[in-house]
Structure 1
Amino acid sequence: MLNDQKIEKFRQIVENKFQIYNSLFMSLPYDKMTNIGMLLPFLYEESKDGYQEGKSPEEIVEEFFQKHTELETEEQKTELLFKIIQYIERQVVLFDSIEDAAFQQLHSESDSGTVLNLYERATQEHHLTAIRKKMDDFAIKIVFTAHPTQFYPNSVQRIIHDLRDAIINDSVTQIDMLLQQLGKTPFVNKERPTPLDEAMSIIYYLRYVYYQSIGELYKKIKNTFGNSNFTPNPDIIQLGFWPGGDRDGNPFVTADITMKVAEELRISILKDYYGHLKNVRRRLSFRGVSDVLRDVSKHIYDAIFQTDVKISAEEIITEINRAEKILVEEHNGLFREILDDFRDRVKIFGTHFATLDIRQDSRIHQKVMDDIYFKISGEDADSKTPDEKIQYLLKSDAILDPNDFEDEITKETLKSIFNIRIIQKNNGERGMHRYIISNSDEVKDVMNVFVMMKLCGYKEEEMNIDIVPLFETMEGLDKSEEVMRKLYSDSVYQKHLLKRNNKQYIMLGFSDGTKDGGYLKANWQIYTSKENLTKVSEENDIKVVFFDGRGGPPARGGGKTHDFYASQGNTIANNQIELTIQGQTITSVFGNKDQAKFNFEQLLTAGLENDVFKSDKKDLSEKDRNLISELAEISYKKYSDLKANPMFVPYLQEMSTLEYYGRTNIGSRPSKRGAGSELKFEDLRAIPFVGSWAQLRQNVPGFFGFGSALKALKDAGRFDEVKKLYKGSDFFRTLALNSMMSMNKTYFPLTYYMRNNKKFGEFWNVLFAEFELSKEMMLELAGYNILMQEEPINRKSIRIREKIVLPLLSIQQYALIKLQKNEGDRDTYEKLVMRSLFGNINASRNSA
C-alpha cells in the first residue's frame, strides 16, 4: 500500500510535471530546431516497435527518414540527427531537474537510514549510549574524483540548479526562460577540460551544496544526539578530493596543478566563511562582539586576496571563542547558536575544505626509484632487486633536488612530494595527508613512497602522511594480507605507523576488480580481503580504515550504498566509511542540498547501525561462506572464459563506443594507461570499459557469470540452499539486488542485429544467453515477477529515462553501423557517436 502511494506521488510530481514542462520545448525558439518536438515521438515509436520486430538501428532510422521526413541528402539527414541529440540532451536535464525538485516530497525525515530514525530506534532498544560512544570514534568520508562518467559544462550545471529551484516554486515563467537559456547553451566542451577545470567544477558543489548540507546535517546530529555530556565529533563527516592530485595515468596532473588546486580549495572555504560571517554579523551587532567579528572578517578577506596573508582554522576558532565569551558575559548569550553553528563549520572544514589526496601508479614509482638509485649509487638499477635498492637508499643521507633529474616523471613525482609540506602549512595537515599507490601488490610499493619522502628531506617526525596501498586487481587482492603482514612487521614501517597513531588506510578498488574478475568474484574477493586485512591489522594492534573505490553503477562497485555498508558483518573493521564518487553519482546522489544531506545520513547510519544493532543477517556462517565462494568461482570461470575469447577486446573496439570515450572532451585523463597504439585489456580504464557496455545496453560487467553460477547449483539440486542464503544474508541479497539494477538497464533488442554478424555474431549470442539465464535465475531466486520488483520508484525512473534516450541509442548505433560499413562521411558519423555518448551517460543516474 505504501509503495502504491509512493508510485502515485511520483506520477503526480515527476511524471506529470515532465509531460507539462516538456511541452514547453515545442514552442521554444531553438536554432533550427522548430519541428524536433513533433518528430521525436515518431523516432521513439519506430525504435520501440522496430527493435521488438528484430529490425536493425539502420533500418529503423532509415524508415524514420522515409516515413516522417522529406529529407534526401546524407547531409540533411545527419543534420536532423544532431538536432535530435541536442533536443534529447535538454530533455534529460529537464527530467533530472524535476526529479531533484521532487526529492524532499518523496522522502521523509523519519525514513529508514535517517538520523531521526536511528535516534528513535536507539531509544526504543536502549542503545543511545552505545551510539554516542561509536560516534566518538567514527566518520564517513566522501572522496570526489574527476573520473568522467558525467560532466556537464559549468554553465549547464548552474542552469540545472536554477531550474530545480524554479520547479520547486512552480514558476512557469522562470522555467520557460531557463529552458530557452538551456536551448542556446552549448552542452559540449570545445576543448578537453584541464585537471584544474575538473577541480573547479567540483569545487562549485563544495561551495554551493556541501558547505550548507554538511553544516546543517552536523547541527541535526548535534541537536538529536548531543546532550550536556556529549557533543558529536565535528570530524564525523569529511570530504576528500582527487582532481588535481590523482596523477595515475594522467600526464596533465602536474605538481604545479596540485598546488593550484590546493590553493583554490583554501580560498573557496575562506570565501564561504566570509559570506557566512556576514549573516552572523547581521545578528551579533552588540558592542565588543561586533568588533571581534569585524576583525576576523577582515583577516579572512585579506587571506583570500593577499598571497602573503594566511589564517588558520585555530586562529578563527580562538577569535570566535573570544566573541562568545563577551556575548555570554555582557549580552545574555543572545543568538549564541548562530555563533556556535559558524564555529562548527570551521571545525568541520578547516582551511582545507576537502582533503586533497595524491595518487600514482606503483609501476611509475618503481621507474622513479630506479632513476634515484642510479643517481645516488652510480650503479645500474637492474643490477639490484627492488628490496635491495630500498635498503640501500634508506641508509643514504642524500637530499634530492628534482631539477637534477632529466626524466619528467621523476621530476614531477619528487616535486609533488616536496609540495606536501607547503600544502600542509597553508591548508593545515588535514589539507593533504594521504599518498595512494594504485596497483599495489608488493611491500616495495608502499616502501618506495616512504623512501622517496625520506630522500626529499622529510625527517621521520615530519612525515605527516599516510601511505595508502590500493589493491585493485584479483592478484593484488589475493596478495593484500601477505603484503600488510610483512609491512606491519617491518621495523622502519612500524615506526612510521606509530607516528600515524597506528592507523593504516587501505584502499580497495571495485571497478578494476570487476573488470578483472567479474561481478560476483570481485565483490566476494573484496569482502574476504577486508576480513583478512581486519584480522592481520587487529593482530598487530593497528586500526585499519578501508577506503572503497566504488563507482556509480554496480559494475563499478556502486549500487545501493547504504545497503552495502549496512550488510557488512563484525568480521570487517568498521572504523570509518570512505568511498569515491564521481560523475553522475555527484549530481544524482549528492547534487543538491536535500539529496546530499539525505545520502550522507544514509552512509552515517549504515556504519553506526553495523556496530550497535546486531543482526544474524549481517554475519555469514561457514556454510554461507562456502556457498558464496562456490558461486563466485563458477562465476569467475564463466567470466574468465569470456575474457579469454579472442573476440572480447575486438568486439569492444569495433562494435562499441570504447574508441570514442577518449575523444569526448569530458575528462582530462586518457582512456587507457599504456602509451602504445595497440589496445590491451590490462591497459583499459574501468570507466570506458564499463561505460562502453552500458552504451551498448548490455551491462556485461554487472551480471555476467552470476546466472551460470546460480544455474549450476540449481542443476545440482541445491537451489534451496541459495534461496536460503538470499533470505538470510544481507550481503548476498544486496549483491543480487544491485546486479538486478544492472540488468534492468540492459536492452539487448538494441543490438539484435549483431547476432548475424559474421565476425561477432557468435560472441554476441554468448552475451545474450548469459543475460537471459541471469535474469531468469535472479527472478526465481528473489521470487519476483519483474526485476527490481520491490523498488517501484527507481524502476519507474529508469523506465522514463530509457524511454527518453531510446532514440539517442538508435542514432548512436546507426552511426556505428555506418562507420563499420565505411559508408558516408566518416568524420560526421564519428561526431554523431560522440555526441550521443553525452545524453546516454547523463541519463544513467539511477545507478548508485
Structure 2
Amino acid sequence: MRIEKQETIYQNEVLTRFELYNSLFQTLPFQKIKYTGALLPFFTLHCEREVENQVDPKTIIEDFFEKYGQYQQGMDKVDLLFRIIQYIERRVVLFDAIEDAAFVKTGRSEDAYLLGSLVNQAASDEDLNEKIIEKLKNFSLRLVLTAHPTQFYPGEVLGIITDLTQALKNNDLDNIVLLLQQLGKTPFIKKEKPTPVDEAISLAWFLENVFYPVISTIRKQLGSNFESLESKDQIIQLGFWPGGDRDGNPNVRVESTKEVSALLRTVLFRAYYRDFRVLRRRITFRGVEQYMNNLQSVLYDNSFNPADEPENVKPYIIENLEAIKDVLTERHNGLFTELVDDLALKVKTFGCYFASIDIRQDSSILRKAHQIVREQTYPNALNKEQFDDLSEQEKNGSLQFKETTLSLDNIDDPLVADTFDVIKYIKTMQKAGGELACHRFIISNCQQASDILQLMELFLANGWNIDELPIDFVPLFETVDDLERAANVMKMLYTHPVYQKHIKERKGQTIMLGFSDSTKDGGYLRANWSIYKAKIELTAVSREHEVDLTFFDGRGGPPARGGGKTQAFYASMGSEVENNHIELTIQGQTISSLYGSFDTAHYNIEQLLQAGLASTLNPKPGDTLNDGEKALIEAMADVSHKKFLDLRHHPLFLEYLEEKSPLKFLSEINISSRPVKRNGNSKLRLEDLRAISFVTSWSQLKQGIPGFYGVGSALENAEKTGKWDDVQALYRSSGMFKTIIDNCSMAMSKINFNITSHLAEDEKYGDFWKTMKEEYERTKKYLVKISNGDSLMDEFPVDRDSIAMRERIILPLVVIQHYSIQKLSELDENDPLHKVYSKLITRTIFGIVNAGRNLA
C-alpha cells in the first residue's frame, strides 16, 4: 500500500505536472521552438513505435522524413534534427526542475535512512542519546566534489533551474512562463573546452548556493539536539578536486591550483559578507562598534580586495564575533545572538578555505620525480633501471628521508616540475587557510609501499620537515590486482618506522578505494566484491596495528562507477569494516541530482550521516558475513569475472566500442578539461581509456555493459549448483549484497537493446552483439527472480518511473545519435556532411548524459 501511495504522489506531483508545463513550453513564442515543439510528439511516438519493432535508426529517421514532405532537402532535415536536440535538452531541464520542486513530497521514501528519525528516538531514550554523542565525537562525513565530466550545465542554466524550481514550488505561473522563455533562449553548449579553473567556478556555484546553507543548517540541528557537539567544527567536511587533481590531466598545473585556492576563498568570504550585512543591519547597539568595524574590514577586504598572500583570519573573525555576543548577552538581553551564532558556526565549519583542495597524481609521475631526488641527494645514486630492479624491501630500506633542497632549474618533464611546484605551494595554502585548506596528497595507481614513502621524500626535498609534516598521504587502490595486494602494502607501511611515526602524528590513515577502473578491469560483481573484501582485509590489518582507518570511496555517477543507493551501502557495513568516517566523491550528475538544491542536499547529507550512525548503533546481524556467505559471493564473483573477461578479451570488443558508440566523439564535447584517455596521442588501448569514457560509451549505446555484465551468469550458476536458496537468503539478510543487486537493477533499467537490434544481422558484429544481448536477458530474468517481483525495480517505483520518463524524453536523441553513426559509416571523411553528422552526435551526447541524473 505504501509503495502504491508513493507512486501515486509521484504521478500527480511530477509526471502530470511535467506534461502540463511541457505543453506550455510547446506554445512559447519562438518560431523554431514552437514548430519543433508541435512536431516533436509525432517524432517521439514514431521513434517509440519503430524502436519497439526493432527497426534500425537510419530507417526510423528516413521513414519519418518521408511522411513530412517539406523536409526533402538534406540540410533541412539536419536542421530539424538539431532543433529537436535543442528542444529535448530543455525538456530535460524542465523535468529536473519539476522533480526538484516536488522532492519534499516524493523524495522521503526511505525512512530507514533518515537522521531525523534517529534524533527523535534519542530524545526519549537517554542511552541511545549517549551512544549517538559518543559516536559523533569520532565521526565525520566528507563529501569531495570532483570535476569528472558526467554532467555539466553552464552556470546560467543552473541558475535557471534553481529559479524555475522555486517558481514551480510556488505555482507562480507568470514567473514560470518567463523562465521557460529564458530557458529557450539560453545556450547550453560551450564553444571552448573548460579549463580546470572553469570547472572550479562551475562547482563553486554549488558550494555557495547549496552546501554553504545546508551544511550549516544540519550542523546547527546536531548542535541543538546534542549540546556536547557544539564545539566540534568538522562533523561535515568538503573536499575539492578541480585545480588539484592532476592524474591524467596535463592541463592542471600549479597556476591552476593557485587560482582555484584564491577562488574558493573569495566565494566563501562573499558568502560571509552577505551574512554579516544582515548581522550589521540588526545589531545597531552600543558597545559593538569596534568589533563590527573589524569584521567589516576583514570580510570586505577578503571579498573584494584579496591580498596576494592572504593570512588565516579565522581566529580573528571568531574572536570578534564572540566579543559581539558577549556584549549582546551582558548589555542587550541576548538580542540577535542567534545571528552571531549562525555566522560563527559557518566560520568554524568552512574556515578561510571553504573546501579542502586534494592533490592527486599518478604514481608513475611521482616515481620520475623521486629519481631526481635520488640523483641530487643520494651518494652513489642508482639509475632508474637499477632502482626499479630492487625488491620492495630493498627500495624502502634505501630511502634516507633527508631534509634537503633540490636544484630544479633543468627539469625537462613538465609534470615532474609541476609536482615539485605544487608540493612547495601547499605550504602557502596552509598559511592562508590553515592546515585543512590542503592537507592530502592522493597517489593514483598506488602499487607498493615505496610509492608513498618516496612521496614523503619529495616533500622533505622541497622544504618540509620530517617532524612537522601536516600532510596525509592517501594511496588509491583501484584495479582488481591493486585491491588484492592493498592489505600487504599497508602492513608494510604500518611497520615502517618513519611512516609509523608519521601516522601516529596524523592520528590515522586514509585509504582511497576507487570503483571505476575496477569495474573496467573485472566487471560489476567482481569490482563490488573486490572492494568490499579489500575493506575487510584493510580493516583487520589497521586494527592489528591500532591505526584509525578512514575509507575514501571513489564512487559516483551510475552503478557501473559505484553510484546508486550509496546511503544503503554505508548503512550495511558489517562489524568487519571500519566505518567511523564516511568519505566519498560526488561528481557530475551526482552533484546536480543529489545535491543540486537545498531540499535534496539536506536530505541526502542527512541520509549519509544516519547511515554512518546506523551501522554502529543498530547493526543488522546479516551485514557481517559469515565464511559460507563470503565463499558464496566469491564463487559468484569468479563466474561473473570470467564471463566479463571473455567479453573484454574478445577481438571485437574495443573495435565495436569505437565504431558503434560515440566514444571517439567524447573528446570533442566541451564539458571537461580532462582528456578522454591517457597517452592522448597513442593508439587507443583499453588500459588507457578513462573509466568514465568507457562507461559513458556503453551508456550511450543503451547497452550498459559495465553495470551488469556477468551478474546473470553468476546467479544462473548459483541456481544450477544448488545454491539458489542461499543466494535469496543472502539477498534478504545482507544489506551490502542487496544494494549490489538493487543497483544492478537500476543500471539494467537504463538499457534498451532494441536500439542496436539491427546489429544482430551484422556480418561482422552479429554474434558479438547476440552474446551481450543473451547476458542481458539472463541477468534481467534472475534479478527479477531474486527480488520476487514482476519487473525490475518493483521495490522502488518512484526511481523506476523517473528513469522510465527520462528514457522516454531522450529516446529521440538516442535514435538521432545512432542514425548519425550509421550515416558516417557511409561517408568519406572529406564529405561536407561528415562534419555535420559528427556535430549531431556530439550534441546528442549532452542531452543523454544530462538526462541520466538519476543514475547517481
What interval of TM-score do these two structures reach, taking the shorter chain for normalisation? over 0.9
Which deviates more from structure 2 when the two are superposed, residues 233-242 or residues 369-378? 369-378
Task: Assess, with a 3 A threshold, how the Cα gap between structure 1 residues 664 and 231 changes in structure 2: closer, same or farther.
Answer: same
2:343 is the alignment partner of 1:342 = yes
Partner of 2:742: 737
Q: Identical aligned pairs, as a percentage?
A: 42
The equivalent position to 1:599 in structure 2, one of 600, 604, 607, is 604
Q: Deviations over 1:387-413 (max 9, x none)?
A: 666655625553114334232122111
Partner of 1:452: 458
Q: Contact 1:281–1:290 (CA<8 Å) still a contact in 2?
A: no
What pairs with 1:311-460 in structure 2 (closer than 5 Å)? 311-376=312-377, 380-385=383-388, 394=400, 396=402, 398-460=404-466
Q: Deviations over 1:137-172 (max 9, x none)?
A: 101111000000011111111111111111112122
The equivalent position to 2:481 in structure 1, one of 475, 480, 492, is 475
The residue identity in structure 1 corresponding to 2:621 is D
**d(CA) in 2 for partners of 1:108 and 1:381?**
57
Partner of 1:66: 66
Local SS of the residue matching 1:580: strand
2:490 is the alignment partner of 1:489 = no
**d(CA) in 2 for partners of 1:828 and 1:787?**
38
**d(CA) in 2 for partners of 1:306 and 1:530?**
44
Count of residues in correspondence between the two structures? 845
1:69 CA drift (Å): 4.3
Local SS of the residue matching 2:46: helix
**d(CA) in 1 for partners of 2:219 and 2:730?**
37
Partner of 1:284: 283
Partner of 1:152: 153
Task: Assess, with a 3 A threshold, how the Cα gap between structure 1 residues 500 and 753 changes in structure 2: closer, same or farther.
Answer: same
**d(CA) in 1 for partners of 2:108 and 2:725?**
37
1:108 CA drift (Å): 5.2
2:846 is the alignment partner of 1:838 = yes
Q: Contact 1:373–1:381 (CA<8 Å) still a contact in 2?
A: no
Which deviates more from structure 2 when the two are superposed, residues 167-176 or residues 661-670? 167-176
The residue identity in structure 1 corresponding to 2:609 is L
The equivalent position to 2:826 in structure 1, one of 821, 824, 827, is 821
2:750 is the alignment partner of 1:750 = no
Q: Deviations over 1:479-516 (max 9, x none)?
A: 10000000111111112212212x10000001111111
2:120 is the alignment partner of 1:120 = yes
Partner of 1:582: 587
What pairs with 1:756-767 in structure 2 (closer than 5 Å)? 756-767=761-772
Task: Assess, with a 3 A threshold, how the Cα gap between structure 1 residues 190 and 479 changes in structure 2: closer, same or farther.
Answer: same
**d(CA) in 1 for partners of 2:116 and 2:141?**
18
Task: Assess, with a 3 A threshold, how the Cα gap between structure 1 residues 232 and 303 changes in structure 2: closer, same or farther.
Answer: closer
**d(CA) in 2 for partners of 1:109 and 1:313?**
40
Q: Contact 1:545–1:576 (CA<8 Å) still a contact in 2?
A: yes
Q: Contact 1:651–1:760 (CA<8 Å) still a contact in 2?
A: yes
Task: Assess, with a 3 A threshold, how the Cα gap between structure 1 residues 401 and 155 changes in structure 2: closer, same or farther.
Answer: farther
Partner of 2:78: 78
Partner of 2:549: 544
**d(CA) in 2 for partners of 1:109 and 1:652?**
38
**d(CA) in 2 for partners of 1:448 and 1:90?**
50
Q: Contact 2:623–2:734 (CA<8 Å) still a contact in 1?
A: yes
1:791 CA drift (Å): 0.8
Partner of 2:212: 211
Local SS of the residue matching 1:832: helix
Which deviates more from structure 2 when the two are superposed, residues 360-369 or residues 347-356? 360-369
**d(CA) in 2 for partners of 1:33 and 1:399?**
64
**d(CA) in 2 for partners of 1:737 and 1:500?**
38
1:336 CA drift (Å): 1.7
Q: Deviations over 1:582-607 (max 9, x none)?
A: 11110000001111011000000000
**d(CA) in 1 for partners of 2:317 and 2:771?**
63
Partner of 2:162: 161
The residue identity in structure 2 corresponding to 1:60 is I
1:360 CA drift (Å): 0.4
**d(CA) in 2 for partners of 1:372 and 1:83?**
57
Local SS of the residue matching 1:547: strand
- 4+ aligned runs moved over 6 Å, structure 1: none
Partner of 1:655: 660
Partner of 1:94: 94
Q: Deviations over 1:770-794 (max 9, x none)?
A: 0000000111111010100011111
Q: Contact 2:401–2:457 (CA<8 Å) still a contact in 1?
A: no
Partner of 2:512: 507
**d(CA) in 2 for partners of 1:2 and 1:34?**
40
The normalised TM-score by structure 1 is 0.97
**d(CA) in 1 for partners of 2:123 and 2:529?**
35
**d(CA) in 2 for partners of 1:395 and 1:740?**
50
**d(CA) in 1 for partners of 2:402 and 2:410?**
17
**d(CA) in 1 for partners of 2:262 and 2:397?**
36
**d(CA) in 1 for partners of 2:395 and 2:534?**
29
Local SS of the residue matching 1:29: coil
Partner of 2:130: 129
Aligned alpha-carbon RMSD (Å): 1.7
1:293 CA drift (Å): 2.5
**d(CA) in 2 for partners of 1:602 and 1:462?**
37
**d(CA) in 1 for partners of 2:530 and 2:246?**
27
**d(CA) in 2 for partners of 1:637 and 1:306?**
57
Q: Contact 2:358–2:442 (CA<8 Å) still a contact in 1?
A: yes
**d(CA) in 2 for partners of 1:730 and 1:439?**
30
Local SS of the residue matching 2:361: strand
2:645 is the alignment partner of 1:640 = yes
**d(CA) in 2 for partners of 1:189 and 1:50?**
33
Structure 2 unmatched ranges of 5 or more: none
The residue identity in structure 1 corresponding to 2:611 is A
Task: Assess, with a 3 A threshold, how the Cα gap between structure 1 residues 547 and 69 changes in structure 2: closer, same or farther.
Answer: farther
**d(CA) in 2 for partners of 1:141 and 1:383?**
41
The residue identity in structure 2 corresponding to 1:249 is G
Local SS of the residue matching 2:773: helix
Which deviates more from structure 2 when the two are superposed, residues 275-284 or residues 589-598? 275-284
2:708 is the alignment partner of 1:703 = yes
**d(CA) in 2 for partners of 1:161 and 1:461?**
48
